[in-house]
Amino acid sequence: MRVSVIVADEADLGLRGLDGVEVFVIDAETRHFDPSRAYVKTLRIAKEAIDAGARHLFVKTDSGLRGNIGSMLKAALDLSSGHFLAFLPAYPDSNRITEGGIQYIDGVPIDRSFFGSDPFNPVASPYVKDLFVGIDAQIVEVPLGLEYRTSFVRPTIAVFDARTNGDLLRIAEYLRTNGQLGVVAGCAGFAQVLPEVLSIPKRKVDPPRLDASLLVVCGSLHPVARAQIECAERSGFVHVVLEPYQQLECGYLDSDQGSRWVDSLEALFSGEDDIVIDTGISRQWKMQEYLEGEGMDKECARERIAAFLGSLTKRLFECGYAKRRALVFIGGDTFLSSYQALGCSEIELVCELDLGTVLSSCRVGGEALRIISKSGGLGDESLLVRLAKRREALSGARP
């Protein structure tokens, strides 16, 4: 499908119509906002998109239920002419299902998974409806069935159970038949069934060449990301572990020490080894000790680490190190910070290489840069190794 992606700032989006675009993605970046600010920004973005000609509004949420889901969906509900919004948070392909109004990950209620102890957005309750505490709307739970009740007098957000992609498709078709697919919400699981229900034509996408060595930049703390990095290291990736002071001291990269450190990386990048740089995901105790010693709170640390990773990516690009590689970003904050630091304005999606692992491109200083990105919690432990083998197979096939 023809897809355009932009990151929304606080100003006017400047949309001038959606001609030629089948899916227009606006990254609202509201996860770390306070709820009222998330509501206002979502309402503004959604209204502007609808005014520009969007026929369907899909509020994409995190399948780990993090962020300001309640206030964002309330904003979308307020724009819905039918005063009804269907919410389908299940993502069966990633073993994330909704049953009895509870969100499960790998068979475990979400509050007992990693997401319950997320250092920045912990999920306190497994019940999806608890996301909407304090929201002025009726919240109903809709169990699996052949028939669904979706007609209400009061403004209503309905949380649908779903265990399989077939469940998601059947619910989507029901909503379309009842004229309730104009404003909906869910995660990637629900999104992937919408093209069929909306009859959006598919086109053949030729598998892209991925023949450059990988540079993986990871800011995620998820155990899945940790397992992927440790597996990559065992398979021969060069592993660069950042020290807490490098990430948290303001201006480190501009200091003499920081400049010498960047220069020292030249030897690593002169070869064709795959390289992974992370924030110390395998030794989080060290970061915690540093934060306690400096009296720094986690939110401040999150912002500084993301900014550092963006600045580091830019510096590696300016030095020429990153230009010769396929960049892999693990974690949304890491990708966004690097995207902004590099001065990208729009992302062109190419294809999905693996579950939730997307190849895209953007232009930096007139050059096309290949980018692979994924959420920290998606994929199996051998994901990075498979990406590297894909490159090796292509490289070996060259004359």
Q: Give 15-42 as a 3 state SS string.
A: CCCCCCCCEEEEECCCCCCCHHHHHHHH
Same-domain status, 7 and 79: yes
Shared domain for 152 and 249, answered yes or no, is: no
- For residue 194, pLDDT over 60 is answered with yes
What pLDDT, on the 0 to 100 scale, is given for residue 12? 62
Which pLDDT tens digit goes with each residue over 219-235? Answer: 998 999 999 999 999 99
Beta bridge partners of 7: 27
Q: What is the pLDDT of residue 14?
A: 64
Last residue of a domain, one of 197, 227, 254: 197
For 222, half-sphere exposure in the C-beta direction (CA atoms, 13 angstrom radius) is: 22
* Phi, psi for residue 216 in degrees, rounded to 5: -100, 125
On whether both 184 and 232 belong to a single domain, the answer is no
* Within a domain: 299: yes
Number of domains in the chain: 2
pLDDT band at 206 (very low <50, low <70, confident <90, very high): confident
Task: State whether 234 and 115 are in the same domain.
Answer: no
Average pLDDT over residues 32-59: 91
Within 10 angstroms of residue 136's Cβ, the number of other Cβ atoms is 10
Q: Is position 202 within any domain? A: no
| Burial class, 50, CB count within 10 angstroms (exposed 0-12 / middle 13-18 / buried 19+) | middle
18 pLDDT band, cuts 50/70/90, is low
Cα diameter, the chain: 68
Mean pLDDT on 187-200? 93
Question: Is 252 in the same domain as 387?
Answer: yes
* Statement: residue 11 has pLDDT above 70: no
- The candidate with the shortest Cα–Cα distance to 142, out of 78, 180, 88, is 88
Task: Say if 346 falls within a structural domain.
Answer: yes
Q: Are residues 35 and 116 in the same domain?
A: yes
Angle at 349 (CA atoms; ends 343, 350), nearest 5 degrees: 125
Q: Are 187 and 282 part of one and the same domain?
A: no
Residues 189 and 296 in one domain: no
| pLDDT tens-place string over residues 71-81 | 999 999 998 87
What pTM was estimated for this model as a whole? Answer: 0.83
Task: Identify the band that residue 356 occupies on the pLDDT scale cut at 50, 70 and 90.
Answer: confident
Q: Between the ranges 44-48, 65-69, 146-150, 369-373, where is the mean pLDDT highest?
A: 65-69
What does the pLDDT average to over 177-199?
A: 94
Rounded Cα gap, residues 113 and 132, in angstroms: 21
- The verdict on residue 206 lying in a domain is no
- pLDDT value at position 339? 86
Name the helix (H) or strand (E) containing 125: none
Distance CA 324, CA 322 (A): 5
Distance, in Å, from the CA atom of 48 to the CA atom of 211, rounded to the nearest integer, reads 40
Q: What is the DSSP string of 80-109?
A: -TTSEEEEE--BGGGTEEEETTEEEETTEE
Tell me: pLDDT of 298 over 50: yes
Judgement on whether residues 160 and 225 belong to the same structural domain of the protein: no
Range in 18-32, 113-127, 148-162, 229-243 the model is least confident about:
18-32
pLDDT (0 to 100) of residue 397: 37
H/E stretch holding 207 reads: none
13-27, 227-241, 309-323, range with the lowest pLDDT: 13-27
Question: Is residue 154 scored above 80 in pLDDT?
Answer: yes
150 has a pLDDT exceeding 60: yes
Q: Kindly report the average pLDDT of the chain as a whole number.
A: 89
Edge-to-edge strands of the sheet including 213-218? 238-241, 275-278, 213-218, 325-330, 367-374, 357-364, 348-354
> 197, 230, 253: which is the final residue of a domain?
197
CATH number at residue 118: 3.40.50.10840
- Find the domain containing 289 and state its range: 213-397
Percentage, residues of the chain above pLDDT 70? 94
**Element housing 354 (H / E):** strand 348-354
Task: Assess if residue 20 is contained within a domain.
Answer: yes
CB 189 within 8 A of CB 90: yes
Q: Amino acid identity, residue 7?
A: V
Residues 275 and 360 in one domain: yes
CATH label of the domain that carries residue 239: 3.40.980.20
Q: Tell me: do 163 and 220 sit in the same domain.
A: no
Q: Report if residue 205 sits inside a domain.
A: no
Which of 154, 171, 197 terminates a domain? The answer is: 197
Q: Is there a domain that residue 204 lies in?
A: no
Both 168 and 278 in a single domain? Answer: no
Segment 246-280, tens digit of pLDDT: 999 999 999 999 999 999 999 899 888 999 999 98
Length of the chain: 399
